[in-house]
Chain A
């Protein structure tokens, strides 16, 4: 691959901690190779800051393979930047050209409070899973795996929903900061499988309740979540969640809700 180097201007959100007031700080980085990943470009910036005896920019990242869901930068107005079906860590610098200015912000949502700079607290997602995002089976109780054949199409659809990495891009992209795509992906993953059947209604109700408690906004069918989802989780899941939720509410007596 042909490669080149570039000089860039970065406008990065800095915020000391949750209580401090944040603001943009401008940095210049030089000789960035087009072969670097976006986060490697941030590594260069941070090494530069350490050399200048300044504090590096804090950002979440771990696997750098697009699967752990830790990275979470809002780049030039888009969650995870310009590439389709992509996480921040997999965005590469050949997207940019010499002289470009790049604006980088954290996920913006009341339910994801800023911890520092570009790092936000996404523990609300864990609490939504705690509310019902599981199948209640203890270790050691399972029957033989092949005693339960599952229609391949359903299994594939369930898998597609289960590929959600819990990064929160859907919330960041949504003007209402709704978490419906995240919640619907988990409800769909489990509702499509026979193992998930017994708790199906209660799960949908409890997870939605927790989502509301956490203060996420309402879904108004804008579709920005699907467009920015790095794993391509489909809006069909939201439609399924709505059906699951309504049927659970209508059937309230049997679920005890």
Chain B
């Protein structure tokens, strides 16, 4: 099957405009007859469900949480990018497009990325109209800040809680549609299967997580807005419930999976403190504006950080990358931290951490503050106090969170940080209309693969989720449903629904029937360890080959030895988790296959065999300038399809930060 990305013809700047003015429309009377299912209520799902409901479609939205407001978009800290050029610093749609393609190490589609940049400005307008309280200047206008990988200030933010405020905006729009009867909301429901009729996605089987009952829901189209799959690594910055199951079921029903191995490891997270660790917490990228990253020059140095004199510290990012210093992109900073720790220079009890030190920034800000106040002879203690107040205003909530988790005061001792899994650029393959290879089945937000290439820039995830939901799907949905206006709602006693429900039910019964000796949690931890060690920040052919065999063995063990307490027809979180871990195991194998196939290093995908003599990532554009789209062919069987990436406007080059 040839992959058709359906990128409109014509110059880059006019593709989306042309599409919008020529796509098919559905009249209001017909919209009322068309039903749409939305899975997930994060930024992509909530914005899509609300917008489609406003347009007059009959929408059913599903989330596994107890309320749509709790989707994991809520945890995003730093901000959202938009090419508004409010700072008059030379920003434009083209620059945001260019930064995103380059940041993604030239592994994203130009057409999609340009559209993303184009609609970014409308997102900010929409959110402000909804009452999202972005940070403002004294003149009452919106404030911006800088983020990694750019030279302009285009990031809009609401303190360290930007994701929360944007999601609440979308959630409120969604609840308004629920009140109006345009959207029917199903909380504490999990999608268990996609139902296809004549090759088209026409509904889902969902499980009510409170009662355990299986439900059949018809839809003329199904939208998967179910987020990323970082939890395949067990430990990540994702929420505990974040999972790949909806996307994985779709994959098994024929939706190709794009670039599954592209994972973002975020450099600044609070390190693992022990085997009990259940998740990892991010410390915003914005901290690298003021914090200096270092390790001791001496291996295994056990002195306290504050006892190590300046000349015995190795500020390794500043040493290796003098031009960008502590502000190198995420993939580069993460690898550099791993390299130091692997060499034995790590700090803290586990030795798997580096320092992020604010002492210099505190003294620098303190001096400026003292001068402002006319205290020209202030002593060090007074300067420190003034400086701490400045740092507190900038990063107070993050410092507080760090202290709660670690019990250490980051104003007095440097933070200990280590890279952690944060985001997945890979996802279901979609065309320009966000449709997967299954007709009628769409993927939006982090669940699709489309816009970030091999590495996502900071503050771009929120932008993409809302772009897809508010501004892309309302057009592309109409273009496809216009041909479906004669399709009557299909009764859910149709044989396809009956068969799909039976399959789901059989699988649940099989899981419950194993009655083995090992907990779901234990399997998830084992999988995470394999993935992190062999398909994590650095990968090589030998490790990946081993990992595939280990995961296949783990899968067998899981299906013969997992223990799930409780019953099927009740609230049973262990059963919910078991289904998700079973899918993660299968996905893990595919990620390793994809990583093994891609004999190059690009963005977050670092194959040790493909690096420059000084340890930087080396792409192979002549061989791998394509999207790897995997087709499910049965148990552990996947066929690779390639979508060639064509760069008409941007010319791929080797990234350098030295």
A residues sitting closer than 8 Å to B (CB atoms) are 1, 16-17, 33, 35-37, 39-40, 43-44, 46-47, 49-51, 53-56, 58, 60-70, 83, 86, 90, 92, 94, 115-116, 119, 121-123, 125-126, 129-131, 133-146, 148-152, 155-156, 158-159, 162-163, 165-166, 189-190, 193, 195-196
Q: Which 3 A-B pairs have the closest CB atoms?
A: A149-B140, A134-B172, A142-B125
Q: Which residues of B contact A92 (CB under 8 A)?
A: 404-405, 407
Question: Of A17, A37, A54, A150, which one neighbours B565 at CB under 8 angstroms?
Answer: A54
Instruction: Assess the B139–A90 pair: CB atoms within 8 A.
Output: no
Instruction: Assess the A56–B565 pair: CB atoms within 8 A.
Output: yes
* A121-B130 Cα distance, complex, nearest whole Å: 27
Question: Of A119, A152, A163, which one neighbours B136 at CB under 8 angstroms?
Answer: A152
Given contacts A36-B276, A83-B404, contact A68 B75 (CB under 8 A): yes
Task: Tell me, rounded to whole Å, the shortest Cβ–Cβ distance linking A46 to chain B.
Answer: 8
Given contacts A63-B239, A139-B51, contact A152 B140 (CB under 8 A): yes
Q: Which residue of B lies closest to A93 (CB)?
A: B276
Q: Which residues of B contact A152 (CB under 8 A)?
A: 136-138, 140
Instruction: Assess the A49–B66 pair: CB atoms within 8 A.
Output: no
Q: Is B447 an interface residue (CB 8 A)?
A: no
Q: Which residue of B lies closest to A44 (CB)?
A: B276
Instruction: Assess the A150–B130 pair: CB atoms within 8 A.
Output: no
Instruction: Assess the B165–A162 pair: CB atoms within 8 A.
Output: yes
Question: Of B72, B139, B142, B406, which one neighbours A1 at CB under 8 angstroms?
Answer: B406
Q: Which residue of B lies closest to A167 (CB)?
A: B70
Instruction: Assess the B129–A189 pair: CB atoms within 8 A.
Output: no
* A119-B25 Cα distance, complex, nearest whole Å: 45
Q: Which residues of A contact B566 (CB under 8 A)?
A: 55-56
Q: Which residue of B lies closest to A144 (CB)?
A: B125
Instruction: Assess the B159–A159 pair: CB atoms within 8 A.
Output: yes
Q: Which residue of B lies closest to A122 (CB)?
A: B66
Q: Which residues of A contact B175 (CB under 8 A)?
A: 126, 129-130, 133-134
* A43-B406 Cα distance, complex, nearest whole Å: 19
Given contacts A55-B565, A133-B175, contact A148 B128 (CB under 8 A): yes
Q: Which residues of B contact A149 (CB under 8 A)?
A: 136, 139-141
Question: Of B75, B125, B176, B404, which one neighbours A134 at CB under 8 angstroms?
Answer: B176
Q: Which residues of A contact B239 (CB under 8 A)?
A: 62-64, 68
Instruction: Assess the A49–B565 pair: CB atoms within 8 A.
Output: yes
Q: Which residue of A lies closest to B86 (CB)?
A: A146
Question: Of A17, A37, A116, A122, which one neighbours B278 at CB under 8 angstroms?
Answer: A37
Question: What are 11 sample pairs from A and B whose C-beta atoms fall under 8 A apart?
Answer: A17-B570, A35-B274, A40-B276, A68-B65, A115-B210, A126-B187, A129-B172, A139-B470, A139-B471, A140-B471, A143-B125
* A53-B273 Cα distance, complex, nearest whole Å: 28
Q: Is B432 an interface residue (CB 8 A)?
A: no
Instruction: Assess the B67–A135 pair: CB atoms within 8 A.
Output: no
* A69-B69 Cα distance, complex, nearest whole Å: 9
Instruction: Assess the B185–A126 pair: CB atoms within 8 A.
Output: yes
Could you give, for residues 279-305 of chain B, a 1 whenever the CB lies within 8 Å of some chain A CB and a 0 otherwise? 101100000000000000000000000
Instruction: Assess the A158–B571 pair: CB atoms within 8 A.
Output: no
Instruction: Assess the A68–B125 pair: CB atoms within 8 A.
Output: no
Q: Which residues of B contact A138 (CB under 8 A)?
A: 51, 54
Q: Which residues of A contact B50 (CB under 8 A)?
A: 139
Quick one: which of A47, A50, A131, A135 has the most chain B CB within 10 A?
A50
Could you give, for residues 45-72 of chain B, a 1 whenever the CB lies within 8 Å of some chain A CB and a 0 otherwise? 0010011001000000000011111101
* A196-B164 Cα distance, complex, nearest whole Å: 19
Instruction: Assess the B131–A56 pair: CB atoms within 8 A.
Output: no
Task: Tell me, rounded to whole Å, the shortest Cβ–Cβ distance linking A167 to chain B.
Answer: 10
Given contacts A63-B72, A70-B66, A90-B404, contact A133 B210 (CB under 8 A): no
Quick one: which of A51, A90, A126, A133 has the most chain B CB within 10 A?
A126
Q: Which residues of A contact B408 (CB under 8 A)?
A: 1
Task: Tell me, rounded to whole Å, the shortest Cβ–Cβ distance linking B303 to chain A.
Answer: 16
Instruction: Assess the B571–A68 pair: CB atoms within 8 A.
Output: no
Q: Is B7 an interface residue (CB 8 A)?
A: no
Instruction: Assess the A121–B565 pair: CB atoms within 8 A.
Output: no
Given contacts A139-B51, A163-B164, 18 further A-B contacts (CB under 8 A): A17-B570, A36-B276, A40-B277, A40-B278, A43-B278, A62-B239, A68-B74, A83-B404, A90-B401, A92-B407, A116-B571, A122-B67, A125-B67, A130-B175, A140-B470, A142-B129, A155-B133, A195-B129
Q: Is B199 an interface residue (CB 8 A)?
A: no
Q: Which residues of B contact A68 (CB under 8 A)?
A: 65, 70, 72, 74-75, 239
Q: Which residues of B contact A145 (CB under 8 A)?
A: 84, 124-125, 127-128, 134, 142
* A201-B470 Cα distance, complex, nearest whole Å: 28
Q: Which residue of B lies closest to A64 (CB)?
A: B279
Given contacts A130-B179, A166-B69, contact A139 B126 (CB under 8 A): yes
Task: Tell me, rounded to whole Å, the shortest Cβ–Cβ distance linking B78 to chain A.
Answer: 13
* A116-B128 Cα distance, complex, nearest whole Å: 39
* A67-B278 Cα distance, complex, nearest whole Å: 16
Q: Which residues of B contact A137 (CB under 8 A)?
A: 126, 129-130, 173
Instruction: Assess the A65–B54 pair: CB atoms within 8 A.
Output: no
* A121-B210 Cα distance, complex, nearest whole Å: 10
Given contacts A139-B50, A193-B131, contact A130 B142 (CB under 8 A): no
* A65-B283 Cα distance, complex, nearest whole Å: 11
Q: Which residues of A contact B51 (CB under 8 A)?
A: 138-139
